[in-house]
Each structure stands twice: as C-alpha cells, then as structure tokens.
Structure 1
Amino acid sequence: MDYDLTSKTKLTNEQKAALGVGEDYEPTTLRAIKVGRATYVKGIEWGEMPEGKHWIRFSGNSSWGDKGQRGDQRVDVLNPAILKLVISKATFAKAGEYRGTLSGKELYKDKYGGSEVGKISFRLFVNRDQLPVRLITEYTLKTHVPKDDKLVKATEHDIVDTRYSDWGTKVAIAAPPAGEVVDFDDLRWPPIDDNPISALTDSAQSAKVRRN
C-alpha cells in the first residue's frame, strides 16, 4: 500500500527548555511518501544533509516505520491485521468508534522489542465501511534525552492524533525528484549535538492512501 503522510509535532515550553531550544522553536513538519518498496522521508533531524538533498530514501536493509508505525503513529491501522487487533482489544464500542488499550508487545510481537512502549490507549473512529477516519493514541515511551553533553534515560509521554482521508478516491502518489533524494545507507550517523531527541507531546497526522 502506497501512502503520502504529513506529521506535525507540538512541544510544551518545558520540553523545549529540556531540549535547549527557544519558546518560538517549532519542530520541522515530517512528510513520508511510500512508493513500492521505498519510503521517502523529509523533515527528520539527521544532521547535515548533502547539498541539494531534502529527502532520505529508506529501502532494502534500511527501513522506515518498521515497528508497525507510520510517522509518529505507532499503531498502523492501515495494516489489516493491526486494524483487526485494535478492534478486538476495544472495551468500549459504539457506532463508528472503538476505545481500549493494547500493549507494545501485543502490537509489535517479540520481533520489534515492544518493551520500550507500555500500554497504548486508543480511540479509533471508522466510517460506514469500517475504514479508519481518525485514530488517537496515548502512551509512555522509554527513551533518552541529551543532558550536559550526555544521553540520560527519560520517559516520554505521547499523544498522537491521525486523520485518514480520500478512501475510494483515485490519488496520484509519486516519489520526490531523484535529484533531491539521498539513500539512508549513504548518510553518516550524526553526532548527538546535531540530532536532538524530541520529547513529543502532541502530534497530528494526515494521510492520503492508495491501495496497490
């Protein structure tokens, strides 16, 4: 399934202070385009990019969103198996809405080490055809943040609100211009100072989907 996804993140002033950025700082909007087996991502903080390159291509041994997620949304309801799992874990259901919780291990299995994510609360809204139109998830995440030139353990609290649209509509999803793309495997690993770790509080996404 191909898709064109845009993700916007909001940080609290407390989180901005922890990252050492000003109150006017706004994280870069993230965009991910999947065409075939390649995913092109723009807006991730990866240090210095080669001149004229704005997109990173993930393919082959490198992957993007390989933990059952798309962008900041860790619950990939565009995957029929995960959508079925989410609905089965609902403890509240009414016309067009499901609410409940699931664990990272249930979602990712042992393959992806789901222990980094504990319980994930969700509110899933579907249309008359039972296709997702909105998904709100909330969870805590074990991570690391920079402090005094070191990485220290921290707990991150995320709320992600994703909207899905254009079901049944013909859409054209194309890869970015080749001249603006660099392969992930060709990039150097950035030093910590070039790649601040974001403590995400609220993320909104919109997705345009094309079924293969």
Structure 2
Amino acid sequence: MKRILTGVALATTAALVTATPAMAAPKDPVVAVKKRMTPGKGVSFTERTTVSQDGKREVFLRRSGTLQFSKTGIAASDITGKLNITSRDLGDVPDSEFGEILKAVAKPERTIRVGTTSYLSGNMWATLLPEGKTWFKAPKGPAGGVTGTFGQPVNLGEYSTLKTLLKGAKATSHGYTGTIKLGALWKVSPWLRAGSLGAPNAKALKSPIKWRLTVNAAGLPTRLVTTFSTLVNGTGDEGTVSVDTRYTGWGKAVSIKAPPAKDVATSFEDGQDDITSLTEIPLGAYAVTG
C-alpha cells in the first residue's frame, strides 16, 4: 500500500509541475510607453532621493509632479521638489539677504516647464522676485528646477531614453535591470541635459548608473530605482545616491500651461536675470544642517 501511495504522490507532483506554465518575460515597456505618448496625455510620479555618505544614510529630497507628452518626449512638466530640511534644521543663519535665501531653501520649489522655458516659484525664488510677482521666467532654465538637479536622472517619459536604457537589460520576474553610463544617458536625454546645472566632467561621464525597473502587466513602468555615485549629480565622489521613482496614470489627459503673465517676472528685484550664481545655494544650505 505504501508503494502505491508513494507512486500516486510522485505522479501527482509530476503532473502539477508539468502543468505549471513557465514564467513569462515582462512585456516590453518601450512598446507600452510608446502607445501612451500622445500629445495631451502624460504621467504622474512621486520620488525620493536618498544619500549615503560616511556610513550615514538619509533622505535628501522628495519630489512629485506630472509630465505632459509630445510624440517622442516631454512637451511640458509641473514638478514640486522639497529638500528634507526645515528652517529649524538650519539653526542660526546670517541676518542678511543670503540668510533669507537660506531660510527659503527649506520651502518647496515648484517648476513649470513649457517647451524649453522654465517658470520657477517658491523656495529661494520667493526672496528674489519683485513685489507682486510669484514666478521667475527662465528661458532654457533647469527642467525640474534647482532641486531637480538632485532628482531622477533617468526620465522614462522620453522614448529615446527608455529605448536606450533597455538595450542589453536583463529581464526579471517583475521587470528589468541593468547599468548605463552617465555619458550614454547624457547623449540621448534632452531632459537630463536641460535639468543639469552644467555639463558633467569626463570622470562623471564614465560613472555607471545601476537601475531596476518594475513594470505592470501591460508593460508600463510603475517604479524605477537608480543608484549611482555622487559624481553623477555633481556633488563629489565620496557618496552614493539612490533615487526611487513611482509612476501612475500613464496616458491620462494632461494640460500644463505657463503661469499667468501678470505673476511672472523676467528679472530679479535687483534687475539681474542670470540664475547661474544661485544654483549652488540649495546644496550649501543643506550642508549647514550637517
């Protein structure tokens, strides 16, 4: 009897194993995203940037926003970013214009970008604008604002970027994983070039960006995690950055417009219109807390 039961058990197990379908590879996200890239459509995201340095790991930045598509990439965007600090974290700051800017850096920054023009509000911009104005217009300004420099370097809303990313990628049970050099990403991604505060140096361009992409049953990206040296975002070479981005609403209707003209300034209160000298202030403010 025992032999009979054993035989039945083995046969049943074999039948179950044979009947179990092999795990299918995830659907191609390049094809899935391309189908949603219609003018007037878009996608939303939330994001967290974490920095590891000297044995310490902490959240550096949180962002959320919406991207509006063109036929091949990003036509417009509306993104809010906030450094993980408060005015209390800054402690005593100088009682000066620079001190006021440092305090303002603890507040959210909102960036609306239409075409190649960025409109910047909140954060340090609020301390620099003429009275009655709440937005600064910056032709060819940073795509995601100054805080965007520390955000996700890989924009999956760009068809060419997604296609390049997936070349040579390894399929996993829930998506794909791989590595891309910053130089390759820089070459193919208009968003990355527009969001940078300056071209990376030769050493940074050779830096690898490790990534892990999760997709849903339709092949649409739901999560992207990238890990790279601080060389990539220009903050040195002694730490590691991890950016975790979650996506929702691929292909939903999106309409992003420039702020009302009456609220927009084209120069600061002092008459200057160059933001180059201001771009390092957020990082410097964060360093005050450490």
Which bracket does the TM-score occupy, shorter chain normalised?
Answer: 0.5 to 0.7
Corresponding residue to 2:133 among 50, 53, 70: 53
Specify whether residues 55 and 132 from structure 1 end up closer, same or farther in structure 2 by C-alpha distance, changes over 3 A only: farther
Specify whether residues 113 and 167 from structure 1 end up closer, same or farther in structure 2 by C-alpha distance, changes over 3 A only: same
2:154 aligned partner: 75
1:21 aligned partner: 90
Corresponding residue to 2:273 among 181, 187, 206: 187
Conserved 8 A contact 1:89-1:102: no
Measure the CA separation in 2 of the matches of 1:191 and 1:114. Answer: 19
**Which of the pair has more CA radius of gyration?**
2
Q: How far is the alpha carbon of 1:76 from its aligned partner?
A: 1.5
Measure the CA separation in 2 of the matches of 1:184 and 1:87. Answer: 42
Letter in 1 for 2:108: T
Measure the CA separation in 2 of the matches of 1:36 and 1:122. Answer: 28
2:47 aligned partner: none
Letter in 2 for 1:42: S
**Could you say what the CA RMSD is over the residues aligned between the two structures, in angstroms?**
4.1
2:114 aligned partner: 35
Measure the CA separation in 1 of the matches of 2:218 and 2:201. Answer: 31
Q: How far is the alpha carbon of 1:37 from its aligned partner?
A: 3.7
> What is the TM-score of this pair, normalised by structure 2?
0.49
Between structures 1 and 2, the one with greater helix share? 2
Give 5+ residue unaligned stretches, structure 1.
145-152, 201-212
Query: Does 2:178 correspond to 1:100?
Result: yes
Measure the CA separation in 2 of the matches of 1:89 and 1:27. Answer: 41
Give 5+ residue unaligned stretches, structure 2.
1-74, 92-102, 194-198
Could you tell which deviates more after superposition, 71-80 or 49-58? 49-58
Measure the CA separation in 2 of the matches of 1:138 and 1:184. Answer: 37
Measure the CA separation in 2 of the matches of 1:108 and 1:190. Answer: 20
Give identity over the alignment, percent: 30
Conserved 8 A contact 2:212-2:226: yes
1:203 aligned partner: none
Conserved 8 A contact 2:77-2:114: yes
Query: Does 2:209 correspond to 1:120?
Result: yes
> What is the TM-score of this pair, normalised by structure 1?
0.63
Specify whether residues 190 and 182 from structure 1 end up closer, same or farther in structure 2 by C-alpha distance, changes over 3 A only: same
1:163 aligned partner: 246
User: Higher relative CO (CA 8 A, sep ≥ 6), structure 1 or 2?
Assistant: 1
Matches within 5 A, 1:144-155: 155=238
Conserved 8 A contact 1:156-1:199: no
